[in-house]
Structures are given as structure tokens and as C-alpha cells.
Structure 1
Amino acid sequence: MPKYFTLIFIFLLINTAHVVAQHQEIHTTPHLWKGKKSVAEDSSSLLFAFKHGKVHGNLRYFFMATENQGHLTDAYAHAAGGGLFYETASFKGFQMGVGGYFIYNIGSSNMAKIDPYTQTASRYETSLFDLEDLTNKNDLDRLEELYLKYNFKKSHITAGKQLINTPFINLQDGRMRPTEVGGLYGEIFPGKKNKLEGGYLYEISPRGTVDWYGIGESIGIYPNGVNTNGVKGNYKGNIESKGIYLLGYTHQLPQNHSIKFWNVFVENVFNTSMIQWDWKKNEWVAGLQYTHQQAVNQGGNEDPSKTYFSPDQKSRVISAKLGYEHSHWKTSLNYTRITAEGRYLMPREWGRDPFYTFMPRERNEGFGDLHAMVGKVLYTFPDFPLKANVSYGYFQLPDVKNYALNKYGLPSYTQLNVDLTYEFINFLEGLEIQALYVHKSNQGETYQNEKYIINKVNMSNYNLIMNFHF
């Protein structure tokens, strides 16, 4: 069956021909619950606030399949689920929100199956369900949001379990459910041209899990790769951290310029700082990022074999964009350089890369001495709400045996993404369908070892996602 994925996927593309992008750009408000808005009413009665609250729901179906090279094991998954979210109306500026979600594995290949040639399991499909228990098909429910929010002017501060979308901690490109965080987080607007945001996080529920974890505990749920000396990573359950402190500032400059500053301090583990400049004039757009990282103390553990961020390394990342946007077209050329001073590290459990070269289904996290070049084209059809998004990239990575700069044993590769998205109106309003095709081709040395190939290169990944929001 897996070898027919290509034909099946093309058939689905043709026969749906209607497809919203399933991943969300960072720096934007999370919109998992369509229509989720703060309610303007404010009464002296607490009962009034509860009775005039809003309920939102979502039903979701996700088909994913991965077709690997030759005799290497393929995988496929069918997932379905639903959830409800409730938020009260405003009461003296305060609102309460609560939401949860359930997921079922309704027909998939064996998520715990190990490929006999490489001793590895499925990479992509497993995160639709529970990475901590690959045999779990039914008990896949999670309390996702439970918060108290205080609104003042156009600003707000939220305490509890919530969604945030920042450069380094974000929803991620979707599976069934996103990464959620617990803590205190606020967005404040001191003037029309300034935005200040940040807070303190003490727990995280990563995408592909059903539980909540302390900050140190959350690092390592995803594969650990190898240490800088080539020994298998061993930091899962061995990282100590009291929490994450985030601070972001955005300022709108004259003539369509903007500048962003971000800092993420992970107590006892590492610190990451970023500055980003964006510009737009007529149809032209441009952007430039600079990111710097270094370890804090011993990077999470005094034992070098169990630490997350080696204190002997640091990383610098430069990312740039130049684009042209006109009428129904958006195009861009993008470049990212990670220097050879060390690996760029950010727990994959927390979010995806903020770089301009990001493409769904792969990341630049875990690598140093990297060059990435990506072209992107987005076309919005004028007569109906169909979008076609095509991107192609070349990623030059260090040799797979250069363990100090290649954490996950990924060779250089090219990647093609084709993404069709559609949001229905009228009778089928609330229904969204997306089809995403990804192909990655090897461009590096693999030393005739298929562990550097399976689920990494010479593979295709197929996705069909349907959402109904109400």
C-alpha cells in the first residue's frame, strides 16, 4: 500500500482542488479557534460575564504518509479529533478561558514498528499522537487552555495554560494539536508604534504529547541526536531548569521600517537573543535577522554526557530576505547562514525555526556551518479563495560524521514543498482543506549507511488535512 501514496495523493489533490495553510507564521496571533475574540461587554454581574461568554469548536481529520527510498519502511496515519473552547465575557477587565481536545488513531501503520535496516521508527506520523507512548490509540486527550486574562486598553496579561506565538516558542507547523505553554504572559502597547511582550513560563505541553512537563523535563521528549563527540544524546530527564523568561519589543520606524528585539533566557541552560529588521516599499520587501546563543552555567547538567547546550560552543545565525509582492503574487529569495562556531540549538519540543528559510517538515535546528537558500512563491487566485504556495530550497550541511556541527546526522539536501489551501464559504462555511506535498533529495555523503537516509532524504511526505470550525 505505501508505494501507491504518490498516485493516491495526486488523486486527492485533483478531487478536492480546494484547500488554509496548516502552519502559522510566527509573530501572528494564534487562530486555532476561529472567531476567538475578546468580548466587549463588561457588567457588574459575574453571572452576566459567564452567560455572555463564547463557545468555539473544532473537528479535525489528518492523513499523513511518508514514502522512503527502496526497501526502507514507509508509514501512514489517519487521525481524527475534536475540541471545545469557552471564554467568558469581560468582567471588570477580566476573562477566563478553558479548552480541551481529544484525538483518535482511526487507522494507521504500527507507530512502534522499527525499521529492520536502520533500527529507527517513523519520524513524522508519530507526532500526530503520543510520542511518549507510541501504542496509545485512544487515550489522547489534553486540557489545553485554562487561564485568567486581564485586559486594559489594547493590552492584556494572561496567567495559566495558553497559546503563544513567538520566534522561538510557538505553535509549530501543525500535526493534530500545537505546542501549549503554562505561565504568565502579556502583550502591552505603549503607543501606536510600540509593542512590548514577554513573561515567565514554567511548563510546556509539546506538540505530539498529551501531558504537561516542567521546562527541564520537556527538553528531550523529541529525539536527542548525538553529543558533540558523536555519542548518542542523553539529556532526556537530565536537564534542570526553573523556567523560561521571554522579552520581545517591536517598534515601527518611519517609511515602513520595523525592528524587533527578542531574548529567551532558559534558567541554567542557555540564552538566545535576536534582532530583526523588516522593510517594505511599494511592491518590494526585505528583512534581516541576527541571532546569538550561548550556554548558561553548564548547559543544563554538570555532566557533559547529559547536558543540552555544551558550554564549549556558541552559535550565530544570519538570515536575510528579499521579495517582490504584487497583486495576487508574493515571491521571495531567502538565505540563512549558521556559523561554524557551534550548533544552533532550540528544543524542538518548543517550536519551529524563526528564520526566513524555514520550510515545513524540516528545520535548521541542531546544525552549525550551514548555508540555506530558499525561493518561495505564493499565488492567491482572484476568483475564489484558493492559494497555491510553492517553495524550493538547497541546504548545505556539515558532513554527517562532523558530530560537533551535525546533531541529527542529516546530509545536505534539496527540498520541494507544494501547498494548496482553501477555506469554504456559504453552505460549507467553517470547512477548511489543505494538501501539502514535500519531497527531499540527498545532496551529501551518506557512507552507504541508510540511517542517514530514512525519513531524512530521498523521501516524500504527503498530508491531507480537513478542519471544521464552529
Structure 2
Amino acid sequence: MKYFIVFLLFIGTVSHIFAQHQDLSEKPNIWNNISSKRDSSIILNAFKFGQINGHFRYFFSLTDNAKTLRDYYAEAIGGGLRFESAQFYNFNIAVSGFYIFPLKSANLFEKDAITGQGNRYEIGLFDVNAIDQLEEINRLEEFFVQYNLKKGFVKFGRQLLNTPFINLQDGRMRPTAVQGFWTEYKLNTSHQLSGGWINAIAPRSTKDWFSNAESIGLYSVGVDISGKKSAYKGQVASDWVGMFNYKYAKDKNFQFDVWYMYTENISHNLLTQWEKKLTSRWKGLYYGVQVASQWKSGNGGNIDPTLAYNQNNRPVYIFGAQIGYKKGGFNQSLSINRINSGGKYLMPREWGRDYFYTFMPRERNEGFGDTKSAVYKIQYLKPKKFQTTLSVGYFSMPDVKNFALNKYGLPTYGQLNVDFRYYFKGALSGLESQALYVYKKNIGDTYDDSKYIFNKTDVHLFNLVLNFKF
């Protein structure tokens, strides 16, 4: 707990925080940019009237493991620029890039002496593919051409995307980016269609761009159904991803979504989601329901089952629900989620975070089957520049030795998140500070094997992040 005291003293000097993850219903606007609607018949003016945005980011991360296991810490700082032109005959372009410098850190390449396992969280501030030393990272994130319609747009190139399946997962230095095309079109005030095709990805915590297949396995691969280390890294055959969304929003109080994603030769994913805000005497009450399914496509990634990413033989079904109440400055909710025992829910972690209502930063339920989870969250939202969130979750996982349903050896656990946010005003406008404390408590059977504890449970996590955007 010595690290906990140091962390509290540290964050006391910089106040409170800005959100760790963009909500999946939001547009991927991490630059705070506003696209110019001005159109010109002169290409020079399209560039003159364009917009430049900047972003500087500092990130401190610390992992305090159980007493006999290794701890880690790291600091990173970076900055980037984004330019988006005004329109030229309805066309506009955008380009952005970011540079990351390592500051002070523990030896993130030194493995724990007891488990033989390496660092999990801090290496994510840099390039997870680094072998023996941290290096400066520069990355081109966006480079696209967009054609603007009266009721939508079509975008080609490298871009940021925020969907339930592929999303920013922006809880480190930089988000995940994709290459392909994406379109959105409003049929009328209530109905909207969107979708696209993706053939390359730059995952969070990497400096390069990869084909879809190459990106799968850059993070931890876990174990296969036999309990051996998964061997699919570099062996997956999958050329493209297609995605479609239909959205019905009668008004601000009701929304219905259908999402479908086809990952060629790996899987089909279907998600339906209903969300409703009640009015009149029940004003402030809201609820949502998620029903999803996933089933294998082709051979799951490789004709050899031992090298396939998706080894499930049956469909996986998911059910989630949320009920909440928002009044005054408080917003509280209770969420549940259930993944059935047909197989493991599989979605490359390199592509994004879980879309479940029960998602809590610093852990996921991807890679597991036969899970039950419940999360209670309470937020204080006033004044707008200051927000505090307390989340408590219980996650029932399959036995750590049930390899067919537990890919990452994660036992049943409880999780506590304390999240502070502060948006500066006045002379410091543009500055956002954030602090996050996470504790994960082991509840399941670990068979006295520390590899099921290290970086997973009985662990304290501390993050301090400063953002300046202009």
C-alpha cells in the first residue's frame, strides 16, 4: 500500500479527472475538432479555411501486485497535431499524427520471478511489440478523404472509428485506428444507416499499421482449448471486416440499434440494443437491453484447428441489461451481463474494448464463456467541470482450468473503480486532468498458483493523466 499513499499525494497536486474511455455511442472526437461546413470552388481556400487541432498528453501508470509479486510503474508524454480542410466541392481531407516519449519507468521487460510472466498494463503506454527497450513512437493516425452529403458522408482512408466491435479503447496514450471506408446516412429524422469495410488496423499501444490478420495476436494470446499457449499469432487468414448498423431514434428518449459485423473466415457478430428514458412522473428513470450472438465463420482463421483464432464449435449468446436513475447531480445504474457456455466470446483485444453494460476499465470479459456479472455505478455530475464516479462489480468466471471457456486464466473476482474528472476553465481552459484507482479482489479458486493472480486479481492499479487540447 506504500504506492497507494504516494499516488494519493501525487494526484492531490493536480486535482481530478477526465474520462478514460469515450462512450461507444459517441463519435470518435478525441481531438475536440469541429468540421468546417464551408465549401469552396477554390482548392487553396479549402486549405486556408481548414482547422488545426493539437493534443498533448501525460500518463502515469502504476501496478501494485500482491506482496510477493513484481510491481511496475511508467510515465509517458506525447503530443500531436490534426488538420482538417474545409470542403472543396463537398470533398475534404484530414491528417493527424502523434509522437510519444518514454519518461521514467521500471524495467517493463523484466518478468516476475515467481510466475515468469511480464508486465501487462504499463507497456501499453508504449509499443507492446518492443523487445528489450522503450523507444520514441511516432504514428500517422488519420489520413482520409471524405465526401459530404446533405444527410451523411462517405470516408476513405485511415480514420478513427467508435463502434461496439471496433472502437477507440482510448485508455492509454493513443487510440486504435482503422483503414478502409465508412459511411453514415440519415434516411430521415428517425432512421439512420451506417457501415463500412476495413482491411488494416493500428491497434492501441502499437506504432505500426497491420493487416487485420496480422493485428490478431499482438496482445496476450492466452491459452487454447487444450490449455496450451494459443498458437494463432501470425497464422490467421482473414482479409477484411464488414460492418453494418441500423439505428432508429424516435426521439431523445428512445433508441434501437442493430449491429452486424462479419470478420472474414473468423466470425459473425450480431448485436441488438434497446434504450429508453422514461418521462412524466418517471422522469429520470432509464433502462437498456442488449441481446447478442456470435458464431464461427469459415475455419475460424486457419484450416488447422490448433492454429485457428476461433475454436468454438457452437454459437455464443450474450444478454445484458441496465436500469438507472438520473436526478439532480447524481446518476446511478445497475447493470448485469451473461455470456452462455456455448463457447468463449472472442473479439480481438487489439480492435477494441467490450461493449457490455458491465464493462469496467482495466479488465474485460472477452475471451470467456459461462460468465455472470453485475456492476453498480454512481456518478456525481455537478458542476459540469467536476465529475466523480464510483463503480463496484462482481464477475463470476469459469474455473481457471476450464480452458475451453477461460482463455486468460482469470478467476472470479470483484472490482472497485474510483474515478475523478476535472475540466479546467478560465486561464487553464483546454486542460483536463484525470485520476483512476482500481482494485481487483480475487474470489475464485487459483489452485495456489500465482500465475492466476499476477496482474489479474489482488492488484491495485493507479493512473494519472493530463490532457491539453486546442
* TM-score for the superposition, normalised by structure 1: 0.97
Change (3 A) 1:465 1:296: same
Of residues 204, 208, 212, the one that matches 1:207 is: 204
Of 103-112 and 128-137, more deviation after overlay is shown by 128-137
1:228 aligned residue (225, 242, 245): 225
Contact 1:30-1:164 within 8 A present in 2 as well: yes
Structure 1 92/310 Cα, relative in aligned 2: closer, same or farther at 3 Å? Answer: same
One-letter identity of the residue aligned with 2:36: V
**1:229: Cα distance to partner?**
1.6
Partner residue, 1:376: 377
* Contact 1:129–1:136 (CA under 8 A) maintained in structure 2: no
For the residues of structure 2 that align with 1:135 and 1:212, how far apart are their CA atoms?
21
Q: CA RMSD in A?
A: 1.2
- 2:164 is aligned to 167
CA deviation vs aligned residue, 1:157-198 (integer Å, no higher than 9, x gap) = 110000010001000141000000000001111101112111
Contact 1:97–1:145 (8 Å) recurs in 2: yes
Q: For the Cα contact (< 8 Å) 1:111–1:122, is it kept in 2?
A: yes
- Does structure 1 retain, via aligned residues, the 8 Å contact 2:433–2:465? yes
In 2: Cα distance, 1:27 partner to 1:219 partner? 25
Residue 321 of structure 1 corresponds to 322
For 2:254 and 2:80, the matched residues in 1 are separated by 40
**Offset of residue 464 of structure 1:** 0.2
Q: Secondary structure at the match of 1:16?
A: coil
AA partner of residue 174 (structure 1) = G
2:467 is aligned with 1:467 = yes
Does structure 2 retain, via aligned residues, the 8 Å contact 1:126–1:134?
no
State the 1:12 CA deviation: 2.6
TM-superposed deviation, 1:255: 8.8
Of 31, 36, 39, 2:29 maps to: 31
- The answer (yes or no) to whether the contact 2:200–2:211 under 8 Å persists in 1 is yes
Amino acid at match of 1:410: L
Whole-angstrom distance in 2 between the partners of 1:18 and 1:334: 26
Q: How far is the alpha carbon of 1:134 from its aligned partner?
A: 4.4
* CA distances 1:103-129 after superposition (whole Å, capped 9, x unpaired): 011111112111111011110111110
- Count matched residues: 466
Structure 2 gap segments, 5+ residues each: none
Cα separation, 2, equivalents of 1:107 and 1:17: 22
Cα distance in 2 for partners of 1:167, 1:262 equals 8
TM-score w.r.t. length of structure 2: 0.97
CA distance in 1, matches of 2:438, 2:305: 37
Q: Distance in 2 between matches of 1:58 and 1:193?
A: 35
Superposed displacement of residue 297, structure 1: 1.1
Query: How far apart are 1:27 and its partner, in Å?
Result: 1.7
Distance of 1:314 and 1:114 partners within structure 2: 37
The 5-angstrom pairing of residues 379-458 of structure 1 reads 379-382=380-383, 385-458=385-458
How far is 1:136 from its partner?
A: 4.2
Q: How far apart, CA to CA, are the structure 2 residues paired with 1:108 and 1:236?
A: 28
Q: Counterpart in 2 of 1:367?
A: 368
Give the conservation status (yes or no) of the 8 Å contact 1:130–1:136: no
**Which amino acid letter does the alignment assign opposite residue 27 of structure 1?**
S
Poorly superposed stretches of 4+, deviation over 4 Å: none
2:22 equivalent to 1:21? no
Give the alignment of 1:34-433 within 5 angstroms. Answer: 34=32, 36-253=33-250, 256-281=253-278, 282-382=283-383, 385-433=385-433
What is the deviation of 1:257?
Answer: 2.4
